[in-house]
Amino acid sequence: MTRLHLPAALLGLTMVAMAFPVQAEDAKTIAATICSGCHGEDGNSTIPMFPRIAGQDETYIIKQLKEFRGGQRKSDVMAPVVASLKSEDLAPLAAHFNGQKPKGQDARDAKLAEQGKGVYLDGNENSGLPACIGCHQPEAVGHGVYPRLAGQHPEYLLQQLKSFAANERTNDASRLMRVVAKRMTEDEMKAVTEYISGLGPK
């Protein structure tokens, strides 16, 4: 690189570096004004029907936002919200919520949670139900397209499992969650969601 081009290159790098705080601030504003009513500004929703997304993997958040926008995932609430966002908002917004500290809670029914632990760790050999741990990790923190579930509202998790089982939610890769959910009894769903709700930081 010649000295003639050096100042221009440095200026370009400076402009790029300056852009990131602006994006981060924009994401914080969007979270506070658009997302906070359902998910909380820090992603720790207090409303059982809306998921906690603090600490959620950025890849997963972006995938869901794009699929709400594209119609692969259906939601009368989320579809118009995502439609109001610009494409360039999605990654900074995902990074914002990924950077928030998850807040969990204790399982409300210890006996039910203990039953759910067995389902989560071992599945059910008799029905061909695989263990949840294989995709969502031992502490349900997820990875990539497999979401963080630890500390999630059990009501929300139960509804999502039922939606997968009924083919009402269809944005799972290779139909994996639809196959899994259809092999679960409602009692198993309630038990495993109770167990998952008590994982993670309190």
Read off the DSSP letter of residue 171.
-
CATH architecture of 110-197: Orthogonal Bundle (1.10)
Cβ atoms within 10 A of the Cβ of 159, count?
A: 18
The pLDDT confidence band at residue 172, using thresholds 50, 70 and 90, is: very high
Indicate if the pLDDT at residue 1 is higher than 80.
Answer: no
Q: Where in the chain is the domain with CATH 1.10.760.10?
A: 6-98, 110-197
Going from the C-alpha of 125 to that of each of 61, 128, 131, 189, the distances in angstroms are 32, 5, 9, 16
pTM of the model: 0.87
Give the model's pLDDT for residue 189: 98
> Rounded to whole angstroms, how far apart are CA atoms 32 and 139?
29
Give the model's pLDDT for residue 153: 97
Q: Does domain 6-98 have CATH number 1.10.760.10?
A: yes
Going from the C-alpha of 46 to that of each of 30, 43, 95, 105, 185, the distances in angstroms are 19, 9, 21, 11, 27
Residue 78's Cβ-count burial label (10 Å; 0-12, 13-18, 19+) is middle
pLDDT in tens, 111-151: 999 999 999 999 999 999 999 999 999 999 999 999 999 99
The pLDDT confidence band at residue 24, using thresholds 50, 70 and 90, is: low
